[in-house]
Amino acid sequence: MRDIAVAQLTNSDLRPYRLPFLQMLRERRQDISLTLYVGQALPGFGAPTEPLKDVPVPVKRVVNHFWPKGRHRVAWQSGALAVLRSEAQVIICEEVVYNLTVWLIRLLHRRFGKRLILVGFMTREPGNGPVAVVRRALLRWLRSSADALISYTDSGRRALEADGTSMEKVFVSYNTVDTAALEAISESVSEHEIEELRTQLGIERPVVLFVGKLIPEKRVDVMIEALKLMAHPPALIVVGDGPERARLESMVVGVPVLFTGAIYDDHVLARYLALSEFVVLPGRVGLTCVHGFAASRPCITTGIGGVAQTPEFEYVADGENAIVVPRPQPELHAAAVSRLLADPELLVRLRQGAISTARQLRIDAMVDGFASAIEHAAQSRPRAE
């Protein structure tokens, strides 16, 4: 097959956990030449403060413009024409309705002789209100122009099938991190390092860990309130930063909560995971659940009926690698934390389930699904709009 030049426009900055995926794609598919057009997230929304080093593919910066004022949702990116005029035969954009740049590329990519791939959740907007109906209609129209669709998980593929999408152009690229590398890093953490960290932090009680952006969707406030209901609460370590941090810190009265800020070094984070009994994710789980699984750490989280979960929730199995409560209520999370701390056998079983899940989520499948979508798009014939 001839070489394929690909341009991918991303809403937010490039995160360290994506580097192994990019490296494997480059090594395994030398016929695919990928260039990333990367926007910068707002400070405090999980963006590394320093540019990443040793990125295995070319990276070009674009300027993000956000809406509404003071929020983190991308309204426009400066790189649309640069992407359209590039040498790429295939353009990859995120499947979102709020980014006007995606719509511009959707309207003009044929005129520039490009093929279009959309990547994202692919799950349908819940509810029957006017906003949900309009958003579903816009997503259908956006997807109709794509030569290939990449869903993060099987749930997205099933949603597309139920929506009448042609399955020939649907591919699943299981969204994950380099679980093999993270497992090896976790296994290398010594008991001495764990006790050294415990002493450094001044913590003598059991530890539970939250990792993620401090935004309302993560519901860290629920876990802080849950600790207040417990007679003997564990220490909660919050790894991450974001606009919610000041409010969350103001809530910490009489309970043992430590905020570390964001940690991007996997070796450092592995020590915090090793120190913890399990991970607590009262809101959206994101890829943090997978990171925890790779360290044999199950999670406590809220089910889909209680919060708007991310596709990665598909990897969470109540009673196998997690405890899932129905609603984001402090009472329910306090009970779940108490239950898991008081039942060593259950904790051991969930830890075994966690590492078993991590070993099923290697980045090989992610690379294969991504590359297959690119091949399909590159070989597709131009269609009338």
pLDDT digits (tens, 9 = 90+) for 69-91: 556 678 899 988 999 999 999 99
Tell me if 25 sits within 8 A of 60, measured CB to CB. Answer: no
**Residue of 249 and 14 predicted with greater confidence:** 249
Just give the CATH number of 179-358. Answer: 3.40.50.2000
Q: What is the mean pLDDT of residues 235-261?
A: 95
Q: Is the pTM of this model over 0.85?
A: yes
Q: Does domain 4-176+362-379 have CATH number 3.40.630.40?
A: no
pLDDT greater than 70 at residue 127: no
Q: In the prediction, which pLDDT does 28 show? A: 94
- The answer to which of 66-75, 264-273, 323-332 has the lowest mean pLDDT is 66-75
Supply the pLDDT for residue 125.
Answer: 62
Q: Is the pLDDT of residue 9 over 90?
A: yes
159-199 confidence digits (pLDDT tens) = 999 989 999 999 999 999 999 999 999 999 999 999 999 99
One-letter identity of residue 234: P
Matching residue, tokens 């030398």: 30
CATH 3.40.50.2000 residue spans of the chain = 4-176+362-379, 179-358
The pLDDT of residue 13 is 76
**Cα–Cα distance measured from residue 383 to residue 146, given in angstroms and rounded to the nearest whole number:** 10
Confidence of residue 278 (pLDDT cuts 50, 70, 90): very high
Model confidence at 381, in pLDDT bands (50, 70, 90)? Answer: confident
Contact 128, 173 (CB under 8 A): no
Which pLDDT value is given to residue 126? 63
The tens digit of pLDDT for each residue in 336-345 reads 999 999 999 9
Q: Which of 261, 258, 215 is nearest to 237 (CA)?
A: 258
- Segment among 70-74, 141-145, 310-314, 349-353 with least mean pLDDT: 70-74
